[in-house]
Each structure stands twice: as C-alpha cells, then as structure tokens.
Structure 1
Amino acid sequence: MTYCFESVRASKSNLSRTLTGFVLAGATAGLIAGGPASAKVEGDTIILGSANSLTGKYSSNGVDTQNGYDLAIKTINEMGGVTIDGKQYKLAVKYYDDESTPARTAQLLERLIEQDGVQYILGPYSSPTTIAAAPVVEKYKVPMVEAEGASRALFNKGYKYTFAVLSTSEQYLASAVALAAEVAEKNGKQPSEVRVAMVFENDAFSQDVRAGVVEDMEKFGMQVILDDKMPSDLSDISATLTKVKALKPDLLVISGHNKGAVTAARQMKELQVEVPMVAMTHCEGAKVIDQFGAAADGYLCPTQWAETLSYSDKYFGSAADYDKLFKESFEGYSTVPYQAAQASAAVLVWKEAFEKANSLDTEKVRDAIAATDMETFYGPIKFSEAGNNIAKPMVLRQIQNGEYNVVAPSKYASHELVWPREAMY
C-alpha cells in the first residue's frame, strides 16, 4: 500500500504548502486504493486512525486539527519514528471526513476499527463528534487520544479508553469572570454589581462553557441580565446584540465555535456594540483579527496554549519554536490556533506511550497512555482516572493592536489588561 498526503482545502484554500510523510488521506467517499484493508501495523508503519471534520460547520478547525496531527507525524518520523522492542516504526494516519456530523463520526470509527483494522485512534474535532466517538472506542476497547473534545460529558461516564490532552470546557472563560470581578473592585464596585450578558451555541461544548461561567459568576454573586442561545446555523445573533446594546452589560460572553465567533465579531461591528469587556471563544480559529482588524481589538480570547508560554519538549523545542515551525509549514496563518498545537501534542502522547509500553498490544498501550506524565511544548500532560488532562491551565489573551497578548492568569500574563474595551468601529 502506498502512503501519501493529499492537501485538504475544505475551508483553507490558502494552504498551498503540503507536508510530506506517512499520512494516508481519506475523504467521505473512501480512501486511496492500493491494497488490502489496513491492519494496525503495515510493515514498519504504525497506522493511527481519525474521523475528522474536513467539511461542514467545523471544517475550519478540523483542518487546523489535521495540520497539527500531520506536523507531529512528520516531526516524529524525521527524528527516527517510534522504537518498540528494538525495532523502529514510522507513524501514519488514516483519515475519514465525518462532515461535522456526530453520527457520521461514530459510523466512520466503526469502519476504521472493524473494516480497516485500525487499533489506535486520534480524536475528531469538536465536543459533539468526540462524544459520539467515545462509546465506539469503549465498545471495541481501542484507545483514543483526543485533542479537541473539551466537554465535561466525556469525563463523567467512566470511560477507560478516551484520553484528552486539553483542559475541559468549564475552564475556558473562568479567567474572564475573575477579571471582571477584579476590574470591578479596582473601580470601587462590588463583584456582585457586575452585570453579565451571555450568548452560547446550543451544543455540548458551548453549554459546558456556559455552565462554568455560571458557576464562577455565582461565586461572586454577579447578575445575569441576558442568557441567549445562538441559532443552530450560527449565522445571525443580531437580535441578541440589539438587546445587549439596550441592556449595557459590564461583561459579554460568547461561545459558538469558529462560525459563531465570526458572526459575533461581524455583527458587533455592524451594530456598533460597545461593551467594556467582551470574552469570546475561538477568536484565533475564526481569524477575527484578519477579518475585522481594529474592530476586534479588546476581545478576551481563552486559549489552551500560547506561543509566549515557557513550555518546551525534545520534539518541537519551545512553544515559540513550534509556532515558527507551524507557520513555515503551512501558509495562511498569522496566528497558530491552539487546536493545531493540541493536536500535535496528542500525537506526542501516542509516541511516548508506544515506547513506554514497548509493545503494540492495545491494552498495554492503553495503560501506558493512562500513566502519561510528560512535559510538552503545549504544556504538561497528566491524565486523571476519568481521562482528562489535570496538569495544564487555560490562559486568557486579549487582542491588543492586532496581536494576541496573555493577560490572565496573572502568573502567565505578558501584558496588562486594556479596560474598558475600545474597538475601532
């Protein structure tokens, strides 16, 4: 069977540079022909499998995810690959496109495991698709290291074969709530006087983010003055933003993946919405700076990772080194999305687990994954019994003069918070 890489341009047509390496590219209709269905190992190549969102509403971040996987595969292979019992192996990924549809994710994972013989899974993009994937890998007792499913619903079911390198969703906007309380106190107000407006996509991830925000607000006694849901197609929140203009909250929090972030930023500009503090997920993936320029200034954007953090490893070097390599490898990125970085980190977990297990046996490899305790360019990774990463914090960046700068938590901050937000509409 011939392994190759076929560049994906589902939503990033400006990615003209492709990576070479042992990556088997798939599409909805099927995979490249050329031999029998893959076993978990083909010769000297260990094959990982992934059903990922290369089309549909999650495709932008799905492509970021695949780019992160591919860069790590290429880097590991160039460093000699994986050594098991004295033998060297390359890594490869067999991809299918789940079309951003959870039912399709589950169906394609069944295909990867049952028909293609893949025994090692890299997760899909998004919480809804990862929630669909988890019962499948549990059913077949096939380990999955996932990088993009942050929903708490993944970690309260007793799953033994799902492991997530990212911080869970309730942590995403916790720093924004704490910042709002801090700003209130600095300006002679009580945190309980802070008035908050919220608009969230009605999906597992965003509703978990909302739950975390509500829990943190309750600690401070803050007031919820608006609690709206985005429409399912994420295309119009003008009615919500009109209410925001009238209510004049102190803090506006928004979460709707890339498409929701684009809609929010575009319509806030169109409607000239002025709020002193705006916190929104998926700023980087939505490329709000590139699309909206100075109108995006002041947004607070939670991130799993930033290139300014002092993380490093033996594979990529520092966080800044990874940032540089990614931009050199893929065109069209002024900012590296954290989704790509955590995808690369997931591949590093597989590399180390294979070598610690010194075996290809799925149970031994699964146990090695569970025992992971490693430092990476992305941050520390250590899994709880439930499978979530308990070692790495979230950070909050603010867009300041067209750049993302870390402003919270204070021990990670590279810049002071700019408040109130002064967008140039």
Structure 2
Amino acid sequence: MLKVLRLARRLAVGGVIVAGALSGPALAAETLKIGVVGGLTGPGAAWGLAIDAGAKIAAAEINAKGGLSIGGKPHTVEVVSYDDQYKAASAVTAVNRLIDQDEVKFILGPIGSASLLAIKPITERNKVILLSNTYTAKALENTGYVFRVLPTTQEYNASFIDWLKTNRPAIRSVALLSPNDETGWNSQKVQTEAYGKAGFTIAAAELFERQQTDFRAVLTRILASKPDAIELDTTPPPTAGLVVRQARELGFSGQFTKFGGVNVAEIVKGAGAENAEGMLGYFAADPDSKEWAWLQTEYAKHHPNEMSDFTFFFYDAAKLLLAAIGRAGTATDTDAVRAQIEQGAPFDTLLGKAFWGGKAAYGIDHQLVTPSFLGEIQKGKGKVIARLAAQ
C-alpha cells in the first residue's frame, strides 16, 4: 500500500487530481475522453485503482488497433482519472472538473456510495453516463444515466449465505461490522435481512468510522455476544486485515466472512496469513484462471500493487461502453449511447456472459448481473471453492 500511496502522491496535481493519462499512442486526430473517479489513495485505494486500470487497459487495447471508430472517424481513447479519496466532497469536485473543464460525457466510478449519491444529481442533470459500483440501493433510484457494473450483496448474498448454512452447519450466530456511512448502512441492512432469512441469529451489528484503526473497543462488544462468525461486509480490505488481527489477539477463534468484496493481498498484509486463514468471501473472479493472469500482467503496467478483482468489472465496463459509443456513432449524444448500452446485452466478458437486471429490486434494468465466486483464504492466497450462477 505504501508503494501505491507514493505513486499517487507523485501523480497528484492540485489535491484531488491523480492522473490524466493517454492510454496508448496518439493514433488518431480526434480524442475521446473517458473519466474515472475513485478512491486512488487511502483504505479504498485497491478498489479505486481497479477502476483506473480497468479503463486504461481497455483504452490501450482500442488504441493499439488504431483507435475507436465513431461515425467513421478514428478516435484515440484518453482516460482522465481523479482521486475522490472515498469522500463525497472530493467526488463532486472531480466530477465538476471532468464535466466543465475536460468536457467528459462518460465516467467510470466511483466506488463509495456517499460519493455516488453526491455526484448523481450533477451527472443526471448533464446527461453524463456513469458506470459505477456502489452498494446503496439508492444508486439506481430515479436515474436514467447510472449503470451499476458489478453485483452487490443484494444480488449474490442469498446464495453465499445458503452455502454457508449447508457447508458450515456449526455456524449459527453472526456478528456484523460495517462502515458508518451510506455504503455500510445499506450493506449491513442487506446482510441483516439475508442472514436472518436463512435462520442465523444476528449476535451483534456494529458500525465504525472509515479512518478508524483501533477496533478493540468495538470488538470487545462483539465478542461479548459470542458469535460463531464475524461478517466484515463492505469494510475496505486493509481495514478488514486490521480487524482480523485485533480480533484474533482478543481471543476470537471463529469464522470470518467478507461477502462485501475481498482483496486477499491487502487483508493478509494487515492480518497476517495465519490470522486470515479460512476467511470466506466474495471473489469477482478466480485467481487461478488464465483470465486473472492476463489481467494482472496488464494491471502491472499501470500500478505496482496487487490487483483487486474489481479490475475485471471495470475493464469489461469500459469495453462495453466503448462498443456502445462505436455502435451509436456519436460521442456527444448520450441518449443514443445509453440506448446502445441497454440493448447490447448479453455481453461477453472475461467472467462469461453478463446481462442487465434489477427491474424488480431497483425499478430499472441498469444492474449488471454476472456469475459470482465464493473464495477462501488458504495459506495467504485466495482459492475459489464455489462458483454461483448469475441471479
């Protein structure tokens, strides 16, 4: 993580801007700018850097082939990235600059729910297409231009918890620990309902501040409830590692689950391999697959840290966006591009077939549905132990 932070500081310009990078050689006279907003520094950096790298890898592929043809004219794809530091105010600053100064019509990110809800009125008003990930159900409420490009706990939690009930029958009670913000409020609500519906007892439900590093007080309260498992939900991976280490030091010997997303390297770095052994979590992809190996190689061309599996989603999101722009034949009419995004499914992705869903849950089919992987940390590495169908 220190390498990532040093890299981000070297790239920083004027506080929140991290990178305005041309992803590939200048191959065409005209340029298409794609924006990225995400936490490129701090506890959520692994996820924010996944957005940045995913977009740049997809752009580099297009540029290597001569650029993106839009209305018969080749365009070089340029990725302009800003660090929102996982903060709503910084996200607003970044989006306003992307729209007003960079004249961007298409943005990938952000990750944080608070950031998404802060910028959504701006992007909707300006008809800017947003390919995002946030776990709040409000992301897709009353929206026309927001698409969520990876599944949330709402989409896969029931399958994961059913697996847990069948394969770990000794686990009957679960304590929940989530961030004290829009992301955590929504995800903890989803977790509470899903575990309760499956027959688990919710022993405790606690929230923490994102800047927090000492969890002994909250863990003491949790451990007093004697849970069989602690669900770390949408806790950022570096923070999750600290929680695991401190819980083990306080004597907790039970199961850890993290169905809100895992970055194995970051968790193991914070917790230690022995403490993290056996943690179950949501994996976006199989770390042993050839697709992972290829994407990790490409990722390393942009960032020195261990790749988050969220890179898969934003690489695929950038690909489907660029394809839709090409089919629409315009880089300015976002209504035409939106129609092509909606009509382009099913999509061929690195993970297999994906399609749009979400109408029943959110009122609009702007939720990308993909296969999900249940993984376990074994000897400091992530291993997929079950593949669950898209729902």
Give the structure-1-normalised TM-score. 0.77
How far residue 400 of structure 1 moved from its aligned partner, in angstroms, is: 1.3
Could you say which residue in structure 2 is the equivalent of 1:225? 203
Matches within 5 A, 1:243-254: 243-254=221-232
Mapping for residues 176-255 of structure 1, pairs under 5 Å: 176-183=160-167, 185=169, 194-255=172-233
CA distance in 1, matches of 2:137, 2:280: 23
Tell me the residue number matched to 1:163. 147
Q: How does 1:113-124 map to 2 (within 5 A)?
A: 113-124=99-110
**Structure 1 match to 2:81:** 95
Q: Offset at 1:128?
A: 2.0
Distance in structure 2 (CA, Å) of the matches to 1:137 and 1:111: 12
Q: Is the 8 A contact 1:261 1:282 kept in 2?
A: no
- Which one of 327, 338, 357 corresponds to residue 366 of structure 1? 338
1:265 is aligned to 2:244: yes
Letter in 2 for 1:348: K
> 1:302 aligned to 262, 279, 282, which one?
282
Q: Are the aligned partners of 2:265 and 2:381 in contact in 1 as well (CA < 8 Å)?
A: no
Aligned to 1:337: 308
Instruction: State the distance in 1 between where 2:65 and 2:369 align.
Output: 27
Alignment partner for residue 12 of structure 1, among 1, 4, 18? Answer: 4
Distance 1:32 1:228 in 2: 36
Residue 289 in structure 1 maps to residue 275 in structure 2: no
Q: Contact (CA 8 Å) 2:135, 2:187: kept in 1 or not?
A: no
Q: Do the aligned partners of 1:174 and 1:212 also contact (CA within 8 Å) in 2?
A: no
Shift of 1:44: 1.7
Q: 1:327 to 1:379 in 2, by over 3 A?
A: farther
* One-letter identity of the residue aligned with 1:12: V
Shift in alpha-carbon separation, 1:359–1:276, aligned structure 2, 3 A = closer
Which structure 2 residue ranges, 5 or more long, are not aligned? 21-27
Partner of 1:416: none
Deviations 1:219-257 (A, max 9, x none): 223211111112342322212322444433222211322
Per-residue CA deviation, residues 191-211 of structure 1 (Å, 9 max, x unaligned), is: xx8112111112222232222
- Alignment partner of 1:132 out of 98, 112, 118: 118
Match of 1:150 in 2: 135
Are the equivalent residues in 2 in contact too, given 1:200–1:230 (CA < 8 A)? Answer: yes
- CA spacing shift, 1:380–1:194, aligned 2, 3 Å: same
How far apart, CA to CA, are the structure 2 residues paired with 1:58 and 1:277? Answer: 20
Gap regions ≥5 residues in structure 1 = 1-8, 19-23, 34-41, 188-192, 310-316, 413-425
Counterpart CA distance in 2 for 1:56 and 1:331 is: 15
Q: Are residues 299 and 175 of structure 1, via their aligned partners in 2, closer, same or farther at CA, if it must alter by over 3 Å?
A: farther
Partner of 1:321: 294
Give, as a single letter, the amino acid of the residue that structure 2 aligns with 1:397.
Answer: G
Task: Provide runs of 4+ in structure 1 moved above 4 Å.
Answer: 13-16, 24-27, 29-33, 327-330, 409-412
- 1:47-62 correspondence runs (5 A): 47-62=33-48
Identical aligned residues as a percent: 24
- Partner of 1:355 in structure 2? 326
Q: 1:337 deviation in Å? A: 0.8
**Which amino acid in the other structure matches residue 244 of structure 2?**
A
Residues 171 and 348 of structure 1, relative CA distance in 2, 3 Å threshold: same
Q: 1:267, CA displacement in angstroms? A: 1.0
Q: Is the 8 A contact 1:145 1:346 kept in 2?
A: yes
Q: Indicate how the Cα distance of structure 1 residues 173 and 236 shifts in structure 2: closer, same or farther if over 3 A, else same.
A: farther
* Distance in 1 of aligned mates of 2:216 and 2:55: 36
| Mapped pair 1:66 → 2:66 | no
Deviates most, 72-81 or 221-230: 72-81
Offset at residue 47 of structure 1 (A)? 0.8
Task: Give me the whole-angstrom Cα distance separating, in 2, the residues matched to 1:11 and 1:132.
Answer: 30
SS in 1 for 2:318: helix
Question: What residue number does 1:6 align with?
Answer: none
The two structures, once aligned, show a CA RMSD in angstroms of: 3.2
Aligned length: 373
Counterpart pick for 1:46 among 32, 48, 54: 32
CA shift, 1:308, in A, is 4.6
Matches of 2:48 and 2:229, distance apart in 1: 30
Q: 1:274 aligns with which of 237, 241, 253?
A: 253
Distance 1:252 1:29, change over 3 A: closer
